[in-house]
Amino acid sequence: MAEIVILGAGIGGLPMAFEMKENARPGDRVTVISNTPTFHFVPSNPWVAVDWRDREEIELPIAPILEKKGVDFIAVGAKRVHPERNVVELMDGREVPYDFLVIATGPKLAFDEIEGLGPNGHTQSVCHVDHAEHAKQAWMEFVKDPGPVVVGAVQGASCFGPAYEFAMIMETDLRKRKIRDKVPMTYVTSEPYIGHLGLNGVGDSKGLMESIFRDKSIRWICNAKVTKVEQGVMHVTEHDEDGKPKKEHTLPFKYSMMLPAFKGVDAIFGIDGLVNPRGFVLIDEHQRNPKFPNIFAVGVCVAIAPTEPTPVPTGVPKTGYMIESMVTATAHNIRAVLDGQPPKEKATWNAVCLADFGDRGAAFVALPQIPPRNVNWFGEGYWVHLAKIAFEKYFLRKMKKGTSEPIYEKIVMQAMGIMKLKDK
Ligand code: FAD
């Protein structure tokens, strides 16, 4: 019998539990450790922040779902992983031994790298549902007395889709409230150009996103480093193509949401051989850590090299489709090792994303994510808005049922079939 422990119960961790349980042998025990008793669907956070969703609509209690599946659940956060002893130390002092550990802890949000950034400072966040609720309160006050908005992603950020998404969702909400004319909007980003997305662009994402921003009167500053945020003022240094400072901007705002850089969580940060200097888990092509081969990792917590150096540092996004394929590969690889076989499954490093704009949306398919690509497609339309709503419902239903059905794969293949991209 093997003890298989999954650390984290988010978009990667919870499906990992279902798929691992299905692939484990009858006597093996699968245990999930989570620092929260609930799962929340992160991609819907931007809707919570503008009051288009209630928290309860995107959140599920984890315990009953796992109980139904025969998976053990510990609703206490991990303080530290001790890979040399094969135990996870919990916040309450207990120790959980493992034969295999799957790390699925997502990101630590590095607000502390910039003075005044984040919900404890002067900008809002949509990265966690708690932040989105906080952002909602601020938004409801803001719309009573509107003014300038600054939105975007700071230096070192990797998750740009939600920054575009939130800019456009705010824009739509303001138009619906008939106060858009009172809100000058500026998109500030570490990307070298609009539509770069941490992926060196996808299809004509540059042309399309610039055109959308022009159409919606959203100004932008690229190659931007946020140096400091004060109450109502953001200090930004714009850099040239060589990464040298070019222009200083002092941007007044009444509301701001900035995506932070990500790091690895404290429970694994600094463990030699397990993580890189930013705390992301080092993995081989089978999701397995080279130094500690009984540790695997899935989701945002894994280390991925940038596609290309950029004048201001940017990272590569880890999107749901990739995460789903990491989960499947990991479940099969652990089973292979249990059976005395070498792991052979690999995740697909394909980036697919749907970004809702409130009344339409943009989608991209980058196969593989590093150019040159076999499929390099970016498009927009009302269908993306509908697809994103459908996707939220499907995903939450899948979590409630506890199935390991590959939902991203299904939707992506359907969408690609519709777009006639499948055979390319
Ligand atoms: P998470 O979902 O963040 O899960 C990590 C879990 O680990 C959390 O529940 C956390 O509480 C837990 N944890 C952390 N530390 C510990 C600890 N010490 N002990 C125990 N538990 C711990 N991707 C898409 O493909 N499409 C989208 O539309 C999309 N929208 C996004 C919108 C936003 C606002 C953001 C931030 C990201 C979005 N992404 C999207 C990217 C990606 O799919 C998500 O970030 C996704 O949540 C990542 O899954 P994960 O499991 O790696 O991390």
**Which CATH number covers residue 323?**
3.50.50.100
Of 213, 245, 261, which one is at a domain's C-terminal end? 261
Q: Give domain status of residue 378, yes or no.
A: no
Q: Are residues 103 and 123 in the same domain?
A: no
- Pocket probe for ligand 1: among 11, 197, 369, the residue whose CB has the most ligand atoms within 8 Å is 11
The verdict on residue 76 lying in a domain is yes
Q: Do both 208 and 218 map to the same domain? A: yes
pLDDT of residue 308: 84
Residue 228 lies in a domain: yes
Q: Is 300 helix (H, G, I), strand (E, B) or coil?
A: helix
For the CA of 265, the nearest atom of ligand 1: 15
Question: Where is 227: in which H helix or E strand?
Answer: strand 224-230
Residue 12 and residue 106 in contact, taking contact as beta carbons nearer than 8 Å: yes
Mutate-to-test residue for ligand 1 from 300, 357, 388, highest number of ligand atoms within 8 A of CB: 300
* Residue 357 Cα to ligand 1 middle (Å): 21
Please indicate, yes or no, whether residues 306 and 173 belong to a single structural domain of this protein.
Answer: no
Whether residue 309 is contained in a domain is answered as yes
pLDDT confidence of residue 352:
83
Nearest CA to ligand 1 atom 42: 319
Ligand 1: list residues with CB < 6 Å: 7-13, 33-36, 42-43, 45-46, 77-78, 104-106, 126-127, 159, 161-162, 265, 267, 299-301, 319-320, 323, 353-354
Q: Are strands 100-103 and 95-97 parallel, antiparallel or unpaired?
A: unpaired
Q: How many CB atoms lie within 10 A of CB 143?
A: 18
Question: Where is the domain boundary, 345, 365, 396?
Answer: 345
Q: Same structural domain for residues 94 and 128? A: no
> Radius of gyration of the chain from Cα atoms?
21
Catalytic hit among 127, 159, 222, 301: 159
Q: By alpha-carbon position, which residue is closest to atom 8 of ligand 1?
A: 10
| Interatomic CA distance for residues 169 and 385, integer angstroms | 11
Same domain, 77 and 30: yes
Cα separation, 221 vs 219, whole angstroms: 7
User: Could you tell me if 280 and 191 lie in one domain?
Assistant: no
Q: Which of the following is catalytic: 127, 222, 301, 353? A: 353
Would residue 353 show up in a list of annotated catalytic residues for this protein? yes
Question: Per the domain annotation, does 393 fall within a domain?
Answer: no
- Quick one: 47 and 167 in the same domain? no
Domain end marker among 232, 261, 290: 261
Indicate whether 299 belongs to any domain.
yes
On whether both 125 and 256 belong to a single domain, the answer is yes
Specify the amino acid at residue 49: A
Helix (H) or strand (E) holding 387: helix 382-401
Q: Is residue 203 part of a domain?
A: yes
Residue with tokens 């510990």: 74
Q: Are residues 289 and 211 in the same domain?
A: no
Gap between the terminal Cα atoms of the chain: 45
For 189, other C-beta atoms within 10 Å of its C-beta total 29
Domain membership of residue 164 (yes or no) is yes
Q: How many domains does the chain have?
A: 2
Cα of 108 from ligand 1 centre, angstroms? 10
Active-site residue 301, yes or no? no
Kindly state whether residues 17 and 152 are assigned to the same domain: no
Q: Which helix (H) or strand (E) holds 246?
A: strand 245-252
| β strands within 260-409, DSSP E | 262-263, 295-297, 351-356, 361-367, 375-381
pLDDT per residue rounded down to tens, the chain (424 residues): 999 999 999 999 999 999 999 999 999 999 999 999 999 999 999 999 999 999 999 999 999 999 999 999 999 999 999 999 999 999 999 999 999 999 999 999 999 999 999 999 999 999 999 999 999 999 999 999 999 999 999 999 999 999 999 999 999 999 999 999 999 999 999 999 999 999 999 999 999 999 999 999 999 999 999 999 999 999 999 999 999 999 999 999 999 999 999 999 999 999 999 999 999 999 999 999 999 999 999 999 999 987 789 999 999 999 888 999 999 999 999 999 999 999 999 998 788 888 899 989 998 888 887 788 888 888 888 888 988 898 899 899 989 998 877 777 776 667 666 665 544 4
Residues 170, 142: contact at Cβ < 8 Å?
no
Domain that holds residue 148: 111-261
Say whether both 104 and 146 belong to one domain.
Answer: no
Residues 162 and 397: their CA atoms lie apart, in Å, by 23
Structure pTM?
0.96
Q: Are residues 126 and 234 in the same domain?
A: yes
